[in-house]
Structure 1
Amino acid sequence: MATKSPLPRPEKDDETATGADLSYAPSTGSTSAPLEGRQRPSQSTLAAPSLPEGCSYGTLAKVDGDGKEAETVIWVEFAPGSRDNPFFFSKWRKVSITACATFFTFMTAYTTTAYSISEESMCRHLGCTNLQFASGIALYAWGFGIAPLMLAPLSEEFGRKWTYAAACFLFFILHLMMTLAKNMATVLVARFIIGAAGIVGATLVGGTISDIFIPAHRGLPMALFGFCAVFGTGFGAVTMAWVEVVPRLGWRWIQWIQFIVLGAFFPVCLVVMRETRATVILRRRAARLRKERGLSDGGRYLARAEIDKVKFVTAMGQSMTRPLVFLLTEPIVTFFSLWIALGWGVFYTQIAGIPYTYRKLHGFSTTQVGLVYLCICIGAIIGFAGNFIQEAIYRRRAAKDGVDARLYAPMLCGILFAVGCYINGFTSISSVHWIAPCIGLTIVLAAILNIYITAFVYLSECYGVYASSAIAGQSFARNMFGGSFTFFTQKTQMFDRLTVRWSLVMMGGFATLLAAVPFVAFAWGPRIRARSKYSKMLMAQEREQLDKERRARVSRGLDAHDAEDLEGDANDREEMAEGQENALHLVPSVAEKIV
């Protein structure tokens, strides 16, 4: 007897449903399966008004106790070049959605160091210890790690827009809770929930970009997303250090200022954000057509994602376990999650070492320490500029290397990450000018930005409609690991026992080991994907959708640039070298494979 897959069917997940005729098996009284070929409605039905654009007739076979019976349905899909299709939104809409989403990313990163720079005033006013304060940093990161496990089913059921709206509201209103807190327990609870809400700005943004940009066009918006995540981390401390040193302001006004900014952003989010999840858009359109037209066109209007749709509670359970299953069983997710998780831990250690290093070794004041965080901002700018070089390489090499053409910059940045750690570590002594460790820190941040971007872009391309689940698994590992590092860096045990110098040099050793990850992925990526249970199928599905759109556009004389496929057959080069049949012919639609 066949073993049931532990994962739910891919058409239930994050992005668009496949355009192929599917096979279905509901768990209720009857089952449905496709008939051979496509039956058309009767002559009287064909006389009905023409179907809405993008809709087409199809059939399902109902199997019950009396035998097989055909049902005529009208599939609701996007017409070629339709502006309702998130992939083909207008340029202005894509820019506005990306700007809004990445600003939320900026604010979630800003909050991280805006909180950490307020340690002295918060501990003084609330009577908390350094360890209790550090717990607020860890809980924020852990909220980031746990919440993605619930985001996929919520955004699937209610859509991306309302997930953003709810998260923005919680992120906004809980800063008021922080501001008015009378004790550390209230602060810690607020920090965890703020982190859980803020993860939308760190994880769902990657899924949103995958919703509205085809693989060939994801590089720049993903780079902007990564830039906001890293630049915001530095900018929070740079600006809020000046608030921290004013006695009548301190930590409460640090929270008040963020509360005011988020209050202004929330209505903008409600107005600008649009639904970007294709399956939700098609389901809503199908429901509207059923209400408006009923059966007058000779069949029931149906979106493919509605077939065999499970209950929300069941979908929630499936989606919450899927990122963890990916993390543990999919080699690509495991590799990149380990890389970015350990890299993020090293990053946290470097950042945590800034106040200790520059106060203890160089006698810096709070505002001077805040200015050191400009190294993060400068590193983010350099890393963002370097992404344009990576994009040029990708466009030139994609036809030969496939998705692995995105790994050239990370191969260099993995090495630079280790070099930056060593420079920062070996120069972190009082006899060396403070600018030297700043240079090392800037190199670290420029490198980590490219690693961060790659972790999102590479996984989004390898897992197509499961991009959000793969990214959620990576985010869980990254934030749980990074948050745990906080405890033995903020309390300074590691720095006191090993000294700042050797603590940071040790981090360079970890970074050296991690530098091998992109080289391994580049050398054996095709082989790893070929043995992955889902990656190969999902990449083939996304390419099949683009091929279908491109052919339809060409046949209508429309511009096919928005549906270009730079990678072509390159992702299957391992199989092609062995003389095997092209993966697209071997792999049927994902739903058929899983069923």
Structure 2
Amino acid sequence: MTTPPIPTMDRTIDEEKQIDGPSPADTTDSDDTVADKASTDSDRARQAAEWDWNADPHNPYNWPQWKKVAQVVNISSIAFVASMGTSILSAAPTQLQAEFGVTITQSLLPLSLYVFALGLGPVFGGPLSETVGRYPVFLGGLIGGTLFTLGAGLTHSFAGLNILRFLAGFCFAPSLAISTGTLNETFKPVERGIPSTFFVLMPFLGPGIAPVLGAFITQRKGWRWTQYTMLFFCALSFLLIIPLGAETFHPILRRRRARALHHPLPPSIPLSTQIRTFATITVLRPMHMLFTEPIVGLVCLYVSLNFATLYTFFAGVPYTFSTVYHFSTEQTGLVFISVVIGCVLGTLTIILCDIFLYRRQIPLHPPHSVPPEYRLYPAMFGSVGLPVALFWLAWTAREEISWASPAVALIPFAWGNLCVFISTLQFTVDTYTGSVVASATSANSLTRYGLGGAFPLFAVQMYEKLGIAWATSLLGFISLALMPVPWIFFKYGKKIRGYSKYETPTY
């Protein structure tokens, strides 16, 4: 929990003296009181003068290890819940069509609107977390997301379902964005590798595990229970965050600590400046970088189309395996276990690349000056796996070939998707500095979830018109066309960074 200011009684006593005048005790013991007060003021002055935030036990960098691990578990559990919501309804379109009398495209709106909201939520949640703190945004978002998820399960209006799903995603979304800040504020760079990898794995596991759960729940209990099931995971997050959650945003913690020690407080930032900063970092600059910075533009395009392909599978995989292999809803859901396996393998790949490829560059370069391009090894490997997986899936999903072949093809796709995303994100973070990093990642989030939400809306029509082989091959050709992106940045990254309008490393 956050550390409240240490209460003192001096101001209360002084105010009473001004109102009521000195008491007999004050008059009698005036010499002792003056001496005690002088001693107290001296101690406080000494304490304030000697205060060093870097050595302060309230600094998250100095927390005990168990408290740091608790924060990773907290934010990971909320991120898992948020990502589950994207695909837990993937098996429900048929039931939604029957209950609400909607078309196949309309039945996918609750899924797409939730994904759209994941892209919009951080635009407001990120700046808010730097005003009121990370912990209130985590807790408030979890409360709001839980309530709207409950409403989505109870509503009997299709319009209401769409609105409530959008609002649930909007509330959960900031947890996916500000968690990176929490990790950066809790772990120093040398400690950040494993916690960051563990956290990033959670938003990828959610879309892989949720369709499996959703298929069984929808088939046996009905689509409403997909929302009720999310409530159980929300309850688990509450059980973790309420007793173990803590504020990690350094400026807020420093202000609280300074107030407790009667240390001079830094001047507060005017509201007009905060609004201008918000507009610049989260709206204007991301759009400018998206169209003027080759690194931001190409990385966003590559990552976004990979995510769009993943979300296309939430409609395309059920269509493929039910049409070709006559799988039931539950059997189709089990196919998504391949996505989970691929994500785990991708995590291992990133860890191995960090240990055996990136860290070997550290002794060859001065401290903190390893070129960002050395972050791209996993992306280069993963870029090969993506088109291979898509063409494999496209041309083996036929009756004369076992269902196991297209199901296994999802493993290298999920592996490559995770490798490309984390690797290019690390590359972007190392390329830019300060608040520019937040703008670059904001552009990534907006485009990623924007395309991810749009593609499922026409996925079934694309598969019906083009056929399973050519529809999936179209996605494969797109992936093949973008495959050179990490390789180009690895070879020419330094030259490309030199043309940037923003500050980038020169090494």
Q: Which bin holds the TM-score, normalised by the shorter protein?
A: 0.7 to 0.9
The code of the aligned residue for 1:155 comes to: S
Q: 1:443 aligns with which of 412, 415, 418?
A: 412
How far apart are residue 351 of structure 1 and its match? 3.7
CA shift in 2, pair 1:532/1:525, >3 Å:
same
- Aligned equivalents of 1:94 and 1:530: distance in 2? 38
Question: What does residue 336 of structure 1 align with?
Answer: 299
Could you report, residue by residue, the CA deviation over 1:173-209 in whole angstroms, capped at 9, with x for unpaired residues? 1111111111110110011111212212322222322
How far apart are residue 309 of structure 1 and its match? 7.0
Q: 2:315 aligns with which of 352, 361, 364?
A: 352
Structure 1 residue runs without a partner (length 5+): 1-44, 56-76, 294-300, 537-570, 574-595
Deviates more, 1:195-204 or 1:150-159: 195-204
Question: What does residue 116 of structure 2 align with?
Answer: 142
Aligned residues of 2:304 and 2:452 also touching (Cα < 8 A): yes
Could you report, residue by residue, the CA deviation over 1:145-167 in whole angstroms, capped at 9, with x for unpaired residues? 12222123201111111111111
Quote the sequence identity (%).
Answer: 26
Structure 2 residue runs without a partner (length 5+): 1-40
Could you report, residue by residue, the CA deviation over 1:503-562 in whole angstroms, capped at 9, with x for unpaired residues? 1111111111221111122122223334434442xxxxxxxxxxxxxxxxxxxxxxxxxx
Q: Please give the TM-score of this superposition, normalised by the length of structure 2.
A: 0.84
Question: What does residue 347 of structure 2 align with?
Answer: 384
* Residue 481 (1) aligns with residue 445 (2): no
- Superposed, 1:292-307 pairs within 5 Å as 292=262, 301-303=264-266, 306=268
Could you report, residue by residue, the CA deviation over 1:26-74 in whole angstroms, capped at 9, with x for unpaired residues? xxxxxxxxxxxxxxxxxxx99993243765xxxxxxxxxxxxxxxxxxx
Question: What does residue 219 of structure 2 align with?
Answer: 245
- Aligned equivalents of 1:437 and 1:53: distance in 2? 67
- Aligned equivalents of 2:49 and 2:77: distance in 1? 35
Q: 2:243 aligns with which of 266, 271, 281?
A: 271
How far apart are residue 457 of structure 1 and its match? 2.6
Aligned residues of 2:115 and 2:452 also touching (Cα < 8 A): yes
Could you report, residue by residue, the CA deviation over 1:101-126 in whole angstroms, capped at 9, with x for unpaired residues? 11111111212221112222232223
- Aligned equivalents of 1:386 and 1:48: distance in 2? 52
Q: 1:417 aligns with which of 386, 410, 423?
A: 386
- Superposed, 1:255-266 pairs within 5 Å as 255-266=227-238
Aligned residues of 2:382 and 2:416 also touching (Cα < 8 A): yes
State the number of aligned residues: 459
Question: What does residue 442 of structure 2 align with?
Answer: 472
CA shift in 2, pair 1:50/1:326, >3 Å:
farther
CA shift in 2, pair 1:425/1:388, >3 Å:
same
Question: What does residue 323 of structure 1 align with?
Answer: 286
Q: 1:106 aligns with which of 73, 80, 92?
A: 80
Question: What does residue 78 of structure 1 align with?
Answer: 53
Q: 1:122 aligns with which of 96, 100, 103?
A: 96
Question: What does residue 63 of structure 1 align with?
Answer: none
Question: What does residue 371 of structure 2 align with?
Answer: 402
CA shift in 2, pair 1:276/1:47, >3 Å:
closer
Runs of 4+ in 1 over 6 A off after TM superposition: 45-48
CA shift in 2, pair 1:91/1:265, >3 Å:
same
CA shift in 2, pair 1:308/1:239, >3 Å:
closer
Q: 2:475 aligns with which of 507, 517, 524?
A: 507
- Aligned equivalents of 1:177 and 1:515: distance in 2? 42
* SS of corresponding position for 1:121: helix
The code of the aligned residue for 2:456 comes to: T
* SS of corresponding position for 1:186: helix
CA shift in 2, pair 1:191/1:515, >3 Å:
same
The code of the aligned residue for 1:486 comes to: P
How far apart are residue 413 of structure 1 and its match? 0.5
How far apart are residue 221 of structure 1 and its match? 2.4
- Aligned equivalents of 1:53 and 1:418: distance in 2? 61
CA shift in 2, pair 1:107/1:439, >3 Å:
same
Question: What does residue 137 of structure 2 align with?
Answer: 163
CA shift in 2, pair 1:325/1:119, >3 Å:
same
How far apart are residue 482 of structure 1 and its match? 1.4
How far apart are residue 314 of structure 1 and its match? 4.1
Question: What does residue 281 of structure 1 align with?
Answer: 253
Question: What does residue 14 of structure 2 align with?
Answer: none
Aligned residues of 1:150 and 1:319 also touching (Cα < 8 A): no
Structure with greater proportional helix content: 2
- Aligned equivalents of 1:382 and 1:241: distance in 2? 24
Question: What does residue 35 of structure 1 align with?
Answer: none
Aligned residues of 1:161 and 1:276 also touching (Cα < 8 A): yes
- Aligned equivalents of 1:156 and 1:337: distance in 2? 25
Aligned residues of 2:281 and 2:438 also touching (Cα < 8 A): no
How far apart are residue 452 of structure 1 and its match? 1.9
Deviates more, 1:111-120 or 1:412-421: 111-120
Aligned residues of 1:421 and 1:440 also touching (Cα < 8 A): yes
The code of the aligned residue for 1:395 comes to: R
- Aligned equivalents of 1:160 and 1:53: distance in 2? 29
Structure with greater proportional strand content: 1
CA shift in 2, pair 1:277/1:428, >3 Å:
same
CA shift in 2, pair 1:309/1:52, >3 Å:
farther
Could you report, residue by residue, the CA deviation over 1:71-98 in whole angstroms, capped at 9, with x for unpaired residues? xxxxxx623x444333443322221111
How far apart are residue 141 of structure 1 and its match? 1.3
Q: Please give the TM-score of this superposition, normalised by the length of structure 1.
A: 0.72
- Aligned equivalents of 1:271 and 1:455: distance in 2? 35
How far apart are residue 496 of structure 1 and its match? 1.1
- Aligned equivalents of 2:448 and 2:347: distance in 1? 21
